Amino acid sequence: MKWNGIKHNMKTYSMLINGFIKLKDWANAFAIFDEILVPGITPNEHTYTTIMHGYASLGDTGKAFEYFSILKNEGLDVDVFTYEALRKACCKAGRMQSALAVTKEMHSRKIPRNTIVYNILIDGWAKRGDVWEAADLMQQMKQEGVQPDIWTYTSFINVCCKAGDMLRAGKTMKEMEAVGWNPNLKTYTTLIHGWARASLPEKALKCFEDMKSAGLKPDGVVYHCLMRSLLSRASVAAEDYIYSGVQHICAEMVESGLTVDMGTAVHWARCLRKIERGGGDIMKHFRRRSCLIGMLDEIYGVEVSGDDDDDDDGDFD
């Protein structure tokens, strides 16, 4: 634009910065903002808030608070989106007490908290696995008449799963469905990870089937999680649903054209060898379908079916 003699204004600068931030191109976003700080061009509250969101995505609380102070000192309006950027920075950096302090200041300025505000806070507590703080926030937002959305429920299910409170996670899933929110791929994936972490692959498989019944297509993350959980259980228990579950998962992965990386293939191969040495007949079930054997032997060249006396086997957890 400059080459054509067209001058930038604040609106075009803000659009450029916002575009680069959405692309996660922090270097260009920050460079353009630095270019604004020349005589005759003054950033507005929207531009400051946008650049704060950029630093928030990096968890840079120092820069986020620095521009927040500048914004206030210049007498510009501070709104819910400005505070949202601060909370996002604090939560990303794991500074939850700072995030709560920002929320209190927002409340003192009589700026109402919306669903996005609560989602950021609940997600922050989810990263720390603090189910009690997250549950308290869920209660607060309902008391204030702020309705949870799909992201609120998914974040809360995530914190329940991390805390091992699968009963509460299941109840939350039922509650969200009762109020009209259908679980999405992220919701089901979160719950499947929770059941797998709780060493209950049968529950994870049930959730997996519910996901497909809802018309959602599982991705590689879901399949890998289920396989890891099933192989872990197979190392200590010989249950029919484990064998059929592994066969089914492998068949679906092959049919969908999904593969695994070399590290995962080696880990699975070691698990299978350990199971077979312990007297398990899981390899017999695999050979009937030639699913996992083909995936490991042919695609990655990992010898699964042969004998291996090497004791350097990986763990199952």
Over the stretch 166-181, which tens digit does the pLDDT of each residue have?
Answer: 999 999 999 999 999 9
Q: With bands split at pLDDT 50, 70 and 90, how would you rate the model's confidence at 150?
A: very high
Rounded to whole angstroms, how far apart are CA atoms 251 and 298? 15
pLDDT of residue 235: 60
Task: Give me 204's structure tokens.
Answer: 């994870």
Task: Give me 82's structure tokens.
Answer: 């400005």
Phi, psi of 127 (to 5 degrees): -65, -25
Rounded to whole angstroms, how far apart are CA atoms 234 and 212? 24
Mean pLDDT of 136-156: 91
201-205 long-range contacts, Cβ below 8 Å, gap at least 24? Answer: 201/226, 201/229, 201/230, 201/232, 201/233, 201/242, 201/245, 202/241, 203/166, 204/229, 205/230, 205/241, 205/245
Stretch among 93-102, 160-169, 277-286 having the lowest mean pLDDT: 277-286
**pLDDT above 90 as % of the chain:** 22
Mean pLDDT of 61-78: 85
Specify whether the CB–CB gap between 36 and 43 falls below 8 A. yes
Q: Which of 51-55, 151-155, 251-255 has the highest mean pLDDT?
A: 151-155
Task: Give me 232's structure tokens.
Answer: 């872990």
Q: Which of 227-231, 232-236, 292-296 has the highest mean pLDDT?
A: 227-231
Stretch among 22-26, 230-234, 302-306 having the lowest mean pLDDT: 302-306
Other Cβ atoms within 10 Å of 170 Cβ, number: 17
Q: Where in the chain is the domain with CATH 1.25.40.10?
A: 1-112, 130-211
Residue 74: which of 108, 49, 110, 107 has the closest Cα? 49
Stretch among 70-79, 143-152, 216-225 having the lowest mean pLDDT: 70-79
pLDDT of residue 239: 66
Rounded to whole angstroms, how far apart are CA atoms 199 and 164? 10
What does CATH list as the number for 130-211? 1.25.40.10
pLDDT of 39 over the 70 cut: no
Rounded to whole angstroms, how far apart are CA atoms 79 and 62? 20
Mean pLDDT of 200-222: 92
pLDDT of 314 over the 60 cut: no
Task: Give me 296's structure tokens.
Answer: 């490991």
**Average model confidence (pLDDT) for the chain?**
79
Q: pLDDT tens digit string along 256-269?
A: 887 777 777 777 77
Residues sharing a CB contact under 8 Å with residue 151, sequence separation 6 or more, in sequence order: 119, 123
Q: What pTM did the predictor assign?
A: 0.70
pLDDT of residue 67: 84
Three-state secondary structure call for residue 291: coil
Task: Give me 3's structure tokens.
Answer: 């080459």
pLDDT of residue 313: 39
pLDDT of 191 over the 90 cut: yes
Q: With bands split at pLDDT 50, 70 and 90, how would you rate the model's confidence at 185?
A: very high
The more confident residue out of 275 and 177 is 177
Burial class of residue 240 (count of CB atoms within 10 Å of its CB; 0-12, 13-18, 19+): exposed
Instruction: Round to the nearest angstrom and report the end-to-end CA distance of the chain.
Output: 56
Q: With bands split at pLDDT 50, 70 and 90, how would you rate the model's confidence at 280?
A: low
Vertex 159 angle, CA 156 and 161, to 5°: 110
Three-state secondary structure call for residue 300: coil
Stretch among 32-36, 68-72, 125-129 having the lowest mean pLDDT: 32-36
Residue range 1-112 forms a domain whose CATH class is mainly alpha
Specify whether the CB–CB gap between 253 and 223 falls below 8 A. yes
Rounded to whole angstroms, how far apart are CA atoms 46 and 37? 15
pLDDT of residue 207: 94
